[in-house]
Amino acid sequence: MDVYGLIGNPVDHSLSPPMHEAGYERLGVDARYVTFEPPKGEGAAAVESATRLGVAGLNVTIPFKQDVLAAVEPDALATRIGAVNTVDFSTDPPTGYNTDATGLVRAFEHHDVSPAGQAVVVGAGGAGRAATVGLATEGMTVAVANRTVDKAESLAATLRTSQADGPMDVQGYGLDMLADLVPDADVLVNATSVGMEEDRSPVPPGALHGDLTVLDAVYTPLETRLLRDARDAGARTIDGAWMLLYQGVEAFERWTGQDAPVGAMNEALRTRL
């Protein structure tokens, strides 16, 4: 039996175990998915221990996504984002991936939205970095807007000057620029925690429009204020569970080498949300 899992702190309410185990069950894969809660600061040590214990794959969540870089060989995308959320132990050293970025792109593709044109990403934390790099890698022009403007500007400057795989077309802004940026955008991603367990949106509703596709990374609640405002403006909407699903699907496929049973994993996720 293969053991997969998640390290995070806290991990009590993670939806990854039922989502992945639904996938194993559907495909007849002999595996279990368990959660581990190492002390803060022990992410790299946890990955090293998992290597010795014969764990086959790990997902990584807050606060360990940067720490584990010290214990893995990150691929080009994870290196650019500066964070790893999936570790594959079939290589030596283990390989680190960032499926938040590729999962976000697959969530758009699932809804027949090709990531092309101009994107606005709100937030420059972990999810914002993944979204910005993921969409810029697809060739989109990305405006990243953050409450702490310096973080958006330095992310954009790093990506514009990066030599690896060529410079990306990314600019950094404060949130006050959203009213100007969103009317010209094709795609909008909320990658802040605004809207989580609260009825607030980080985007002025008057900037939303009918040619826009809006993905909110927040998935508690599934129907956020931003998504309601977007629907009222005639925009297409994608809830945060799609990003969560596809980051898991990408990890599942990297680990097992098989196409993930997306429908079964999605059902397991949504029945628990």
Q: Binding of ligand NAP at residue 96 (CB under 6 A)?
A: no
Task: Select the span of 4-12, 16-24, 68-76, 213-221 touching ligand NAP (CB under 6 A).
Answer: 213-221
Q: Which of residues 148-177 bind ligand NAP (CB under 6 A)?
A: 148, 151
Catalytic, out of 7, 61, 65, 195:
65
Q: How far is the CB of 52 from ligand NAP (least distance, A)?
A: 28
Contacting residues for 181 by C-beta, under 8 A, at least 6 apart: 120, 143, 145, 173, 207
Count, in order, helices (H) and strands (E) of the chain. 10, 12
Identity of the residue, 51 or 193, whose beta carbon is nearer to ligand NAP in the bound complex:
193
Of 96, 128, 134, 172, the residue at the interface with ligand NAP (CB under 6 A) is 128
Interaction of residue 125 with ligand NAP, rule CB under 6 A = yes
Q: Which is nearer to ligand NAP, 104 or 212 (CB)?
A: 104
Is the Cβ–Cβ distance between 22 and 29 less than 8 Å? no
65 is a catalytic site residue: yes
Query: Which member of 7, 133, 235, 243 binds ligand NAP (CB under 6 A)?
Result: 243
Residue of 191, 207, 260, 265 interacting with ligand NAP (CB under 6 A):
191
Least Å distance, CB 134 to ligand NAP, is: 11
Q: Which of 147, 160, 228, 270 binds ligand NAP (CB under 6 A)?
A: 147
Residues that bind ligand NAP in the complex, under the rule CB under 6 A: 62, 100, 123-128, 146-148, 151, 191-194, 196, 202, 217-219, 240, 243-244, 247
What amino acid positions are annotated as catalytic residues? 65
